[in-house]
């Protein structure tokens, strides 16, 4: 029997895709290389075989395509300019914002929990609390009905 739920989504493969997407978006932010080149570099790594590659590519391409929109939406909830946010946290926030806005098939709590977990794993000591607070505010703004239902 498979561990994949009836939805056909493997949560562990999605989590791996998010971790790899964080690393790819970080690499893109730091290098300035075209996103297609960054994706190609990651596509051939060993653990990509057990990640949801399609989801990984959607996240990375989505952040690239909507970066200005995502940054503008994040700005009111930040305590500094986006470029001054730690690069790992910045990448995590951009991915989380992309999922909240463009992947409405993923519950907002899953988006936030996954973002917090990758921030804990790769970010600064308290970066995950910053990510949690910012994405929580964005979820309240973009996913009002779902957010309010979750708070009830």
Residue burial 89-106, b: 16+ Cβ < 10 Å; e: rest: bbbbbbbbbbbbbbeeee
> How many domains is the chain built from?
1
Q: Tell me, yes or no, whether 5 lies in a domain.
A: no
pTM, 2 dp: 0.92
Q: Tell me, yes or no, whether 4 lies in a domain.
A: no
128 with 119: CB under 8 angstroms? yes
Q: Tell me, yes or no, whether 62 lies in a domain.
A: yes
Q: Tell me, yes or no, whether 29 lies in a domain.
A: yes
Q: Angle, nearest 10°, between helix axes 53-74 and 87-102?
A: 100
Residues 63, 64, 66, 72, CA torsion sign: positive
CATH number, position 141: 1.10.940.10
Q: Which domain holds residue 41?
A: 11-151
pLDDT in 10s for each residue of the chain, 152 residues: 345 455 678 999 999 999 999 999 999 999 999 999 999 988 877 567 788 999 999 999 999 999 999 999 999 999 999 999 999 999 999 999 999 999 999 999 999 999 999 999 999 999 999 999 999 999 999 998 888 887 77
């Amino acid at each position: 029997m498979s561990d994949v739920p009836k939805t056909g989504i493997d949560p562990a493969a999605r989590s791996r895709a998010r971790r790899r997407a964080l690393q790819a978006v970080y690499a893109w932010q730091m290098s300035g290389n075209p996103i297609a080149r960054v994706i190609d570099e990651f596509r051939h790594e060993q653990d990509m075989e057990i990640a949801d590659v399609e989801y990984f590519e959607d996240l990375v391409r989505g952040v690239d395509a909507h970066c200005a929109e995502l940054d503008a939406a994040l700005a009111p909830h930040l305590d500094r300019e986006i470029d001054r946010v730690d690069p790992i946290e910045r990448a995590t926030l951009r991915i989380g914002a992309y999922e909240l806005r463009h992947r409405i098939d993923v519950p907002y709590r899953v988006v936030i929990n996954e973002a917090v977990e990758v921030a804990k794993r790769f970010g600064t000591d308290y970066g995950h609390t910053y990510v949690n607070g910012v994405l929580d505010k964005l979820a309240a703004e973009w996913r009002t009905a779902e957010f309010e239902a979750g708070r009830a």
